Structure 1
C-alpha cells in the first residue's frame, strides 16, 4: 500500500506483463477506482495482431491511445512505443510510462495520483521512458518519439 493508502489491483501487473512479455497489446490505461483506494485497469487497447498491425501504423495506434486520456481526470498509462530509430539501427520498441495529470483535473485528483504513482511505477520494471504530462502536446507522438530517441 502506498503512503496515500492506495493499493494496486493484481490485474494491473498482469496487464503490464502481457504488454511487456506477451506483446498482446500496445497500451494499458490505469485509474483509481470509485473509492480512490485501488489502482485498476481502465482500458486495454490496440491488440498486437498482424491483422490490426496491417490496418494501422504505429502513429495511428498511438493517436488512438491518446484519445482515451480524459481531458479532466488523471490516469496512468503504459505504452509499447514502436519506432524506427535510424536506417542503420532499424526498428525499436520502448515501454513508456505516462503519469497523466491534466491542468483541468481537480486538485484532489492530482494529489492522490501524484502520491500513488510510485507504488504502481515500482511494479513496472523495464520501463524505458517515463513522462509526467499535463497537456496533450507533452504526450503527442513527436514528443514521445524524441524522448525515445534520446533514451530518456
Structure 2
C-alpha cells in the first residue's frame, strides 16, 4: 500500500486513517513529518466522530528506538485505537476492517489500544523491541 511507502520514502512520521462518514472506505485523515510523539498521541486520543463522540482511528507510526549499546531500531507500527467509550456500531466496523488494513500495510509491529495509557511511548517501545 502507498501509505507504508510514504512513511519510508517521504519522511513522514505518521499517517492517521479513519473510516469515512458514509462507512464505505478507509481514508487518510492526517499525516505529518512532526517527530513529537505526544502530539501524534493526542490526535488519536482526542479523535471525534461527526457527532462529537470518541472515535476510533488506525495509524501507522515510524518509530525509532534508541537501545543504547544495541543501537537504534526503526519499526513501522500499526496502531488500532478504539477507545473503550466508542459507540458499539463504530467499534464493530473498526474491528471488522482492522486485519484487512493491517495486512495491506504490512507493518513490523501491531498494537491494539482501547485506553490512552496503552498508547504511551514505553508501550510502543516494548512491543517494537520484542520483534
TM-score range for the pair, normalised by the shorter chain length: 0.7 to 0.9
What does the per-residue CA deviation read over 1:87-113, in whole Å, with 9 as the maximum and x for residues that have no partner?
2x2111001101110011110000000
TM-score (norm 1): 0.76
Counterpart of 1:5 in structure 2 is: none
Which of 67, 72, 85 in structure 1 is aligned with 2:42? 67
Task: Determine whether 1:80 maps to 2:62.
Answer: yes
2:60–2:77 Cα contact (<8 Å) kept: yes
The aligned counterpart of 2:122 is 142
Note the aligned Cα RMSD (angstroms). Answer: 1.5
* Whole-angstrom CA distance in 2 between matches of 1:139 and 1:93: 18
Following superposition of structure 1 onto structure 2, how do residues 4-43 of structure 1 map, counting pairs within 5 Å?
A: 13-20=1-8, 22-43=9-30
Unaligned runs of at least 5 residues, structure 2: 49-53
Query: After TM superposition, where is structure 1 displaced by more than 3 Å over at least 4 residues in a row?
Result: none
Distance 1:17 1:100 in 2: 22
Higher radius of gyration, 1 or 2: 1
Structure 2 matches for 1:38-57, cutoff 5 A?
38-47=25-34
Shift of 1:148: 1.4
Unaligned runs of 5+ in 1: 1-12, 48-57
Aligned match of 2:95: 114
Q: Aligned pair count?
A: 124
